[in-house]
């Protein structure tokens, strides 16, 4: 067998940022090259996502993954041993066929995505290349000399912070930055300023799931006002230098077009919720809103997109679940103008790439995203650069499972710009501002 043939597939239990077990898969090739990847886990999940396989019962609070590990170490290993590693589409096809269900519930979406990502890493290792370079050189993706624009959480809410506020993520995007390094530096300024404000006002309760501040706001709008103040306090200009992005995650507090904002003590229909969000975009420097309506409120999503899409990025997450068919239908319906790309929603990298390609065909923006339950795995950063995804959402500017990804981007940026070791900011490695809906 050549260097491109699989010698062994092995799964082990590791731990994620919530202290829950998850699946790591390691694939070894004939002459020693190794690929390794870890499955993340979400808290706010769409009903159309593939399903994790958890053990249930009392051990690890029911979140054990021994059944998923057995699936890799038994059936998946037997399936893949001896197969070529350099045909990702075929590997993924075999995995889906072996599972036999659309939602990958038999083997587990966590077992399958970890295997799929590990295979891609192993293929890159066989060529002695980092994954982002391999994707460009060997898979026909013209990996541009750009890194995705960071979208970074400052305040957590919703399912990420005990529902202390209803909106799930209050994030910033350094829309005026000229480099990836500068975008991170500006975000660090805002993060510190926000922390100072929260401490001074007695509103800091701790750290949310994704590393942002766990706040004690009186209402949802209070968070927007505070974040705008933090941008100003940091010395940057709201909207011009740094803008706000929101993940409403509306499915978490509503269904059937009816919504309840517990923090505001308000019950709203679809149009009233949309109206509130439109008002926010007019009074605050908001340029991106994710899942503004519930995943079952397609008509509301169409109406909201019509109202704001010329100046705001309307992102489908639970609404689209990294699914190419759903993206194509949404484009036909004129719902959303951007999609969140999460590999573990789709279950394989081939399905993930198909969703990204569908977004490009539709003229949608795309954001490659981590999950709230994360690890040190940096695969999504490499996919973002190698596939040419223009935006990256990882969580906050704190906690090592988040910083591992932001810092990996800095290393890639240095390699792209050829200034490794210079200690200088890496210039010219963010997508052109004109490529984003808000420009």
Residue in 26, 342, 401, 408 annotated catalytic:
342
d(CA 273, CA 345): 26
Report helix, strand or coil for 267.
Answer: strand
d(CA 100, CA 77): 16
Helix spans in 155-313 (H):
180-201, 220-233, 270-283, 298-308
Q: Return the DSSP state at 148.
A: P
Nearest CA among 367, 327, 325 for reference residue 343: 367
CA atoms within 13 A on the CB side of 130: 19
d(CA 244, CA 200): 22
Tell how far CA 416 is from the center of its chain. 23
Residue in 24, 49, 151, 210 annotated catalytic:
210
Nearest CA among 345, 383, 377 for reference residue 17: 377
State the residue for tokens 């809410």. Answer: 157
Active site residue 210: yes
**Residues belonging to the active site:** 210, 342
């Amino acid at each position: 067998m050549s260097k491109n043939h699989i010698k062994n597939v092995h799964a082990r239990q590791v731990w994620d940022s919530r202290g829950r077990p998850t699946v790591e898969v390691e694939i070894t090739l004939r002459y020693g090259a190794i690929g390794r990847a870890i499955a993340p886990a979400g808290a706010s999940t769409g009903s159309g996502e593939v399903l994790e396989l958890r053990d249930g019962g009392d051990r690890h609070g029911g979140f054990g993954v021994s059944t998923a590990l057995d699936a890799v170490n038994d059936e998946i290993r037997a399936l893949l041993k001896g197969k070529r590693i350099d045909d990702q589409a075929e590997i993924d096809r075999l995995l889906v066929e072996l599972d036999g269900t659309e939602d990958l519930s038999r083997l587990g979406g966590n077992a399958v995505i970890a295997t799929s990502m590990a295979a891609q890493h192993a293929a890159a290792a066989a060529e002695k290349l980092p994954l982002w370079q391999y994707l460009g050189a060997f898979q026909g993706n013209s990996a541009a000399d750009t890194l995705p624009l960071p979208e970074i959480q400052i305040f957590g809410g919703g399912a990420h912070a005990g529902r202390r506020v209803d909106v799930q993520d209050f994030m910033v995007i350094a829309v005026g930055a000229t480099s990836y390094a500068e975008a991170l530096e500006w975000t660090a300024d805002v993060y510190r300023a926000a922390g100072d404000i929260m401490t001074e006002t007695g509103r800091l309760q701790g750290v949310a799931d994704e590393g942002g501040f766990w706040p004690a706001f009186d209402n949802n709008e209070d968070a927007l006002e505070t974040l705008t103040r933090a941008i100003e306090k940091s010395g940057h200009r709201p909207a011009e230098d740094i803008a706000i992005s929101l993940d409403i995650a509306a499915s978490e507090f509503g269904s059937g077009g009816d919504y309840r904002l517990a923090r505001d003590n308000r019950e709203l229909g679809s149009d009233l919720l949309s109206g509130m969000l439109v008002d926010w975009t007019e009074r605050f420097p908001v340029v991106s809103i994710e899942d503004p309506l519930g995943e079952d409120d397609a008509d509301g999503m169409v109406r909201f997109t019509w109202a704001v899409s010329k100046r705001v990025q309307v992102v489908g997450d639970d609404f689209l679940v990294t699914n190419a068919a759903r993206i194509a239908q949404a484009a036909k319906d004129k719902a959303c103008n951007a999609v969140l790309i999460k590999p573990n929603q789709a279950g394989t990298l081939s399905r993930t790439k198909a969703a990204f390609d569908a977004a490009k065909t539709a003229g949608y923006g795309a954001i490659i995203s981590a999950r709230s339950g994360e690890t040190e795995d940096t695969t999504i950063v490499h996919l973002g650069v190698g596939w040419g995804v223009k935006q990256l959402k990882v969580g906050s500017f704190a906690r090592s499972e988040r910083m591992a990804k932001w810092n990996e981007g800095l290393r890639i940026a240095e390699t792209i710009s050829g200034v490794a070791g210079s200690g200088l900011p890496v210039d010219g490695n963010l997508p052109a501002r004109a490529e984003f809906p808000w420009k």
